[in-house]
Amino acid sequence: LPNRIRKSDVVVIGGGAIGLAIAWRAAQRGLGVTLLERGRFGEGTSRVAAGMLAPIAEARPTEQPLLHLNQASVKAYPGFADELSEASGMDVGYLRCGTLVAARDRDDAEALERELEMRLALGLPVSRLRASEARRLEPALAPSLRLALEVADDHAIDPRLLTAALVEAGLRAGARLRAGAEVATVEVSPRNRVSGVRLTDGEVLETEHVVIAGGVWSEAIEGIPHEARVPIRPVKGQILRLHDPSGAGLVSHIVRIAGSYIVPRGDGRYVLGATMEERGFDTAVTAGATFELLREVIEVVPGVSELVIDEVSAGLRPATPDNAPAIGPTSVHGLWWAAGHHRNGILLTPITAEIVAGMLVGEQRPELAAAFAPARFARGAAQSSTRRDRLMPVGA
């Protein structure tokens, strides 16, 4: 890895939360940065995300390296949000709301007891609440509630405010941010070194370093040698945005139910999601998914039926074969990945930007990033999933 790179020679492909945060952090470190976004900034998957910062509620014993990365990012969030808000002069919508995981019936309650044990065994801060205790915290919870877990450290951010602030902070730090600029090809020299990028209109930008942060569309970028590619597949998520005409206060925590969740924005707006569907690049919004999400949440928070629906949308989570992100350099000198963040891209924005910007200026790869090296997909070690028609409501 080069220890130093010339100024103005990092091109970031993709203006979602990940690319924008990398551009900001890299510019802050004195690098000359050009970010290329084919559409408008923050209008890819990041625009659809709920914005839960929930490593504990989503922890799985089989995904410990990801849990540690998620936790490191959550720990960095308060400082990151303050600094970003200061640097951009904008509100970033960071809400210290905490999370309740609710059980509606006996089956849910049994599953929740197992979830509690697993989290306690991992040393995660979770507490068990009787239904009456949960309802004291959130009076809008249905009387039929059986049991709840409180995850006091799992919070939320508004991804749309986050990306808007990252654009402003990036510009103020001196990054060059270009919308409407689509990269067709990464140009690699015969000496296996990045030499530039070619846009779809034929324009060529010379650069020594390219960071691929194109989310689920990263795979379409040409010119990347086979051994430096990362397979990424779309995992569709349908999600609703609603508001309460009578103002804030229906719920103040994120409330998660077996297959769905409601996230408060703190001002009477709510996000309710989300499905997990393997259907390729389909972003159609369906009646069945909307119905199921609403039904499940209304069963636990009946007052949701009074909310006004503002938007129903679908986004595509960028998922690698092992569902963990690809962060770091490749076997091609100057070619970096920061993509494949699946359900956790908003949560992982601060730590991903910190890792990539640090390594671009010659810092060592932090230990906790080792498991996410893009090289694990080299030599076709893993194949992109082609499963279709699976509807699994759950998760971010």
Among 10, 23, 28, 38, binds ligand FAD (CB under 6 A): 38
Q: Which of these segments, 47-55, 94-102, 167-175, 187-195, binds ligand FAD (CB under 6 A)?
A: 47-55
Q: Rounded to an integer, what distance in angstroms lies between the CA atom of residue 248 and that of residue 140?
A: 12
List the x/- string, 156-195, binding to ligand FAD by CB under 6 A.
--------------------------xx------------
Q: Quick one: which H or E segment has residue 168?
A: helix 159-172
Q: Rounded to an integer, what distance in angstroms lies between the CA atom of residue 308 and that of residue 250?
A: 13
44 binds ligand FAD (CB under 6 A): yes
Q: Which of these segments, 46-54, 74-82, 93-101, 373-381, binds ligand FAD (CB under 6 A)?
A: 46-54
119 vs 342 by CB, closer to ligand FAD = 342
List the x/- string, 201-230, binding to ligand FAD by CB under 6 A.
------------xxx-x---x---------
122 vs 394 by CB, closer to ligand FAD = 394
Q: Rounded to an integer, what distance in angstroms lies between the CA atom of residue 55 and that of residue 57?
A: 6
The phi, psi pair for 122, rounded to 5°, reads -85, 0
38 vs 119 by CB, closer to ligand FAD = 38
The least distance separating ligand FAD from the CB of residue 187, rounded to whole angstroms, comes to: 14
347 binds ligand FAD (CB under 6 A): yes
Structural contact between residues 250 and 303, judged by C-beta atoms closer than 8 angstroms: yes
Q: Which residues have a Cβ under 8 Å from the Cβ of 252 and sit 6 or more positions away?
A: 97, 138, 264, 266
55 binds ligand FAD (CB under 6 A): no
170 vs 345 by CB, closer to ligand FAD = 345
129 vs 221 by CB, closer to ligand FAD = 221
Q: Which of these segments, 94-102, 104-112, 168-176, 335-343, binds ligand FAD (CB under 6 A)?
A: 335-343
Residue 42 Rama label (left phi>0; alpha psi -120 to 50; beta): left
354 Cα distance to chain centroid:
15
The least distance separating ligand FAD from the CB of residue 203, rounded to whole angstroms, comes to: 12
Instruction: Give the chain's radius of gyration (CA, Å).
Output: 21
Question: How many residues interact with ligand FAD (rule CB under 6 A)?
Answer: 43
Q: Rounded to an integer, what distance in angstroms lies between the CA atom of residue 354 and that of residue 111?
A: 36
Q: Rounded to an integer, what distance in angstroms lies between the CA atom of residue 318 and that of residue 340?
A: 5
51 binds ligand FAD (CB under 6 A): yes
**Dihedral, CA atoms, 89, 92, 98, 101, nearest 10 degrees?**
180
131 binds ligand FAD (CB under 6 A): no
128 Cα distance to chain centroid:
27
Give the burial string for 243-256 (b: 16+ CB within 10 Å, else e). bbeeeeebbbbbbb
The least distance separating ligand FAD from the CB of residue 51, rounded to whole angstroms, comes to: 5
The least distance separating ligand FAD from the CB of residue 28, rounded to whole angstroms, comes to: 18
Structural contact between residues 295 and 320, judged by C-beta atoms closer than 8 angstroms: no
Record the tokens describing residue 117, joined without a space: 């044990």
Among 102, 161, 300, 346, binds ligand FAD (CB under 6 A): 346
Residues in region 230-269 near ligand FAD by CB under 6 A: 237, 239
Q: Which residues have a Cβ under 8 Å from the Cβ of 197 and sit 6 or more positions away?
A: 11, 13, 36, 183, 185, 186, 187, 204, 205, 207, 210
Residues in region 294-323 near ligand FAD by CB under 6 A: 315, 317-318
Instruction: Provide the binding-site residues for ligand FAD, judged by CB under 6 A.
Output: 13-19, 36-39, 43-46, 48-52, 182-183, 213-215, 217, 221, 237, 239, 273-274, 315, 317-318, 339, 341-347, 396
